[in-house]
Chain A
Amino acid sequence: MGFFELQPEEWQALVLTLQVAATALCFAVPLAVAVAYVLARYRFPGHGIVNALVHMPLVLPPVVTGYLLLLLFGRNGPVGRFLAETFGIVFAFNWTGAALAAGVMAFPLIVRPVRLAFEAVDPKLEEAAASLGAHRIVTFAVVTLPLTLPGILGGAILGFAKAMGEFGATITFVSNIPGETRTLALALYTATQTPSGDLAAFRLTLIAAVVAFGALIVSEIWARRLRRRIGGADV
């Protein structure tokens, strides 16, 4: 067996991590876009409170966030019980719980750049679209959203990185179950706690670095293409 050959459980951790991060982003990105749009474009009573709530996972210790998730979404938590009884969705000690924790932790990191991107889109362009007969929803889809894409991409990359590496909230909420909730970060932690786990820890570190580096490169290429499409010029 080669030095760098991955053990089955390491493969498992990698695949699980990608699955958890991708699932988290699938839900977190659209929600973050909606919240960022509302925060950027509307002023309403409670604007500051919504903004603070969005940023809570960023300032709370991850263990606290994980514990709150456990209280809310656990088997006996009010939301958790409701979802389990109505839709059969169970988060507790399940990989979906890991995805939820990752999504919640990544959420503020996605909202911030997306909100900045929305604020950078001149509302006058939307006025121009209206004068040409476009409905607000159409204007959002063909003018506002495309101009925000680089920001959304940036937010998604940050979110992906956070979701990949999430540790505290995940281990608190869904524990460290091999094949179910043991993501790369948790596997690395386990390896460091195991005598003679140094080699495994080294390989896991390498995987994490390669995945992160790859994601950065892909996003950079993508961002450049987007910027070129927008023309990189003022209006």
Chain B
Amino acid sequence: MASPASSVAGAGETALTVVLVGNPNVGKSSLFTALAGVPTRVGNYPGVTVERKVGRFTHGGRAIDLVDLPGVYGLVPRSPDEQAAVDALAGRVPGMAPPDCAVVVADATNLERNLYLASQVLGLGVPVVVALTQSDVATAEGITIDHALLAARLGCPVVPVVAPTRHGIPALASAIVAAAAGPAPSPPGGLEALASTAGPEHSPAAREAIARYAWIERQLVGVVTRRPPAGAAATRRIDELLTHPLSGTLAFVLAMLAMFSSIYWLAAPLMDGIEAGVAALGGAVRGLLPEGPIASLLVDGILAGAGSVVVFVPQIALLFAFVALLESSGYLARAAFLMDRLLAGVGLSGRSFIPLLSSFACAIPGIMATRSIENRRDRLLTIMLAPLMSCSARLPVYLLFCGAFVPDRAVGLPFIRLPALVLLGLYALGVVVAAAVAWLLTQTVLGRSRQPFVMELPRWRWPLPGVVLRRVAEAAGSFLHNAGTLIMAVSVVIWALTTYPRDEAAIDAEVAARRGALERRIAAGGEPAAPAAELARLDTPAGLAAARRGAAQRQSFLGRAGRLVEPLVRPLGWDWRIGCAVLASFPAREVVLGTLGVLYDLGDGDDAEGGLAARLHAATWDDTGRPVFTLPVALSIMVFFALCAQCASTLVVIGRETGSAVWPVVSFLSMTLLAWVAAWLTFTVASGLVGG
């Protein structure tokens, strides 16, 4: 019985090194999990960002190191994936022993094409075992495979497996141990003779492929028999319905709508629940501890940080449930097929559609969903574009500023309102800029995709609930485990920067100075109503508490940083407080509203949304007393938020998913620059038009 274990290993004999090699999407990962459990090590092959997954298990007292090779269609090294697979099979990877056995993972429902890779592995001089995945599906589809005959033809063991139910897994483990002790199979015979039958008009590559497929066809004579499966007619009807130009497109729109609304709206109550729970927990902790730095660290730093991590889990779980459903039913590839043309124009493929669409809800699950993009370049480009889609965290910012500063005027028709048009424009801005960035990167750094967009369209299948649940658990777990700690650390650091240094005397002095300034303005005459209202606010306990809280934050490291960056944000029409709020929103965009509230002395008693809008309307420049927030300033803030990278969680996930610290930095710098330039243009043009 194969069992995941680590402590038993290495008693006397050294561990066997076994590699899993197979075409993409044949169930290699599921087989890896079934054999070795959770990988003990996940790293990269030296020099390239090709994931190397290693796990250890024991079988019959023998320790086995299982290495998952990248999914490839052949062993001609043209891509980093293929190079890594070839190097690992040849024992040329530093720090990895040459394989004692290669397990070729082949899809039983698509044996002919899967054996192409097997024919190449058989010629390497390494013991081989063929694992036939999807054997249950093959049976259900009326495909019968004579395993013994196939094993005799190939000269190596052939083991049918069903990874989710562990059927055939012990037999596979036994076959691996036995094969590793024996000789390597002889290479496919007669390939040269077969190649020579192909005419001279074909390229050497074509002649090799002709020869190998001719060899495969010969091996499969009498091995595979097909009879029409029981549900063939039903499958064909489903296929016709789901791929018909009209009903298929309708089904696609409905499926995408269901997916998008579930991550956008269905996740919202769950996220609200998490936030409420974290707030309640924070209140309880505050009740237990005396007011002071420890309580603040625990509640505002650590608990809030943990909350900001956990709050992403509903969206990630829902999106991955959808992706897993679509993938295991065979629809994911169909969706890519439908949308390919749309994305080909900007140098991407249909595979990028779902990750980019999801990014309108949140870039984090969107970026994680790029795992289903096989092409490395396309995946990287999609990751870089995902944060430009306007996510749900931007919406509160848009809604506040559109509602408070964009005049509610009809444009053309009475029901087309200006604020709604501005909102639409902000969403469009992200898409247009993403398309421009994709085009630019394709023309320069990344180049056109060197690999053609070819994609297997799998058969329709009923998704297995177990598989879907495992995918959801894996995605949520890997996010909490890999990204969670770092996101929490960022939150705690930002908390410290907004809390310290704290000098009560200086806070008193600032409030007193403010009172003095207001009194002088009233004494000077002019329009005394606004200063008088402000002064009256300062005399209420809530107004005073708000003023003190604002003063503390203005004097913190963050406040000082805000003053430091003021020359940078002045061209955007912002005062240093807006600069502060933008800096403080680095952990998450929506934080900007809370910070603006504190900085503009929003009190606990004030109505959260209307109150903030009123405080912003009342805000004046320190020197001139003119209002800070005008239409051009509001537009410039919104445009900045549409394009900026103020989301530490996204940057952390970009780092994790690309396996490199370079891409988050590139992403942050380029998006910030883009956001600044666009906000400056917006402010300049809008000021010119409306006179700001």
Q: Do A and B bind each other?
A: no
B residues touching A (Cβ–Cβ < 8 Å)? none
A residues touching B (Cβ–Cβ < 8 Å)? none
